[in-house]
Structure 1
Amino acid sequence: MNTNPILLVEDNPDDEALALRAFKKSGMTNEIVVARDGIEALDYLFGKDSYAGRNIQQLPAVMLLDLQLPKIDGLEVLKQLRANPVTKKLPVVILTSSKHEEDLIRGYDLGANSYVRKPVDFNEFVTAVGHLGMYWLLLNELPY
């Protein structure tokens, strides 16, 4: 099992709480790092500002990225990740409530590994997060 942290990029406190409960209920023991906007996510990944000194070579096992974020939106975060040699292979799952087809297409065009719409129902959300964790933490092999 991959023990690297999971980076959850989510600005909605309710969705953050749901995701954290879902991870716990699914039995995942990885540290969950929460970034609440696009700039904080990039600062974490690139070791800037409040994350200065963080070992940027230790990438998350997976990044769960919301699209509707303050400061820098999720698609711009993804674009910057893929442009950097350190983070260009980081697995990114867009986890969003967006039903816009153009978001899905643009997400894949920018290099998302997966696009998942957030289920409204808590039990469905827990199941979805459990499946995401099972795949990205247990089955997927990382190139780093």
Structure 2
Amino acid sequence: MLNSGPIILIEDDTDDQELIGKAIREVGMSNEIIYLDNGADALQFLVTTTVQPFIILCDMNMPKMNGIELKMRIDENKELRKKSIPFVFFSTTANKMTVNLAYTKMTVQGFFEKSDQYKELVRTLKIIFDYWRESIHPNS
């Protein structure tokens, strides 16, 4: 996998952006972090960039375009699907209905609940990044 590509963090809360960014560094990830605060801007970035991202971490509830809408638009776009970018929901909205929708209506590769406890946040991010550094998929 292209482990050196940027980490795309789609999160509308600037405090959460800062905290997640700090936790990403704490787990040893030195990748560039690209912060986007809504799904519409994220989609525009993904459609226009020539960079191969390492992973997308996406919140659910955002202005302009939420995480579900964004992932559905990515899945509909042939060029973005070819990029095979790992897409993980990382959100406080982790109810059964939302999780079921994510796994049955789109090609999401993970759904993790964002903890408000920093230590737990670091632990979860470590699990996510360790998995994707080892995983074999089209970008390997």
Q: TM-score, structure 2 length as denominator? A: 0.90
Instruction: In structure 1, give the amino acid aligned to 2:68.
Output: L
Instruction: In structure 2, give the amino acid aligned to 1:42.
Output: L
Q: Tell me the matched-pair count.
A: 135
Cα deviation code 1:56-110 (max 9, x no counterpart): xx33111001110110010000001111122223211000001321110111121
Where structure 2 has 5 or more consecutive residues not aligned to the other structure, the ranges are none
Q: Counterparts of 1:100 and 1:124 in 2: how far apart (Å)?
A: 19
> What secondary structure does 2:35 align onto?
strand
* 2:118 maps to 1:125: no
Contact 1:37/1:71 (<8 A) preserved: yes
* 2:102 maps to 1:107: yes
Task: Using the TM superposition, give the Cα deviation of residue 127 of structure 1 relative to its aligned residue in structure 2, in angstroms.
Answer: 1.1
Where structure 1 has 5 or more consecutive residues not aligned to the other structure, the ranges are 48-53
Aligned to 1:78: 71
Aligned to 1:26: 27
The CA RMSD over aligned residues, in Å, is 1.3
Cα deviation code 1:6-54 (max 9, x no counterpart): 111000111111110001111101111111001110011001xxxxxx3
> What secondary structure does 1:64 align onto?
strand
* 2:61 maps to 1:65: no
Q: Larger deviation: 26-35 or 81-90?
A: 81-90
Instruction: In structure 1, give the amino acid aligned to 2:57.
Output: L
Q: Percent identity?
A: 27
Contact 1:37/1:69 (<8 A) preserved: yes
Instruction: In structure 2, give the amino acid aligned to 1:41.
Output: A
Q: TM-score, structure 1 length as denominator? A: 0.88
Q: Displaced runs of 4+ in structure 1, greater than 4 A?
A: none
Contact 2:94/2:112 (<8 A) preserved: no
* 2:137 maps to 1:142: yes
Q: Counterparts of 1:123 and 1:116 in 2: how far apart (Å)?
A: 15
- Give the structure with the larger helix fraction: 2
Aligned to 1:15: 16
Aligned to 1:94: 89
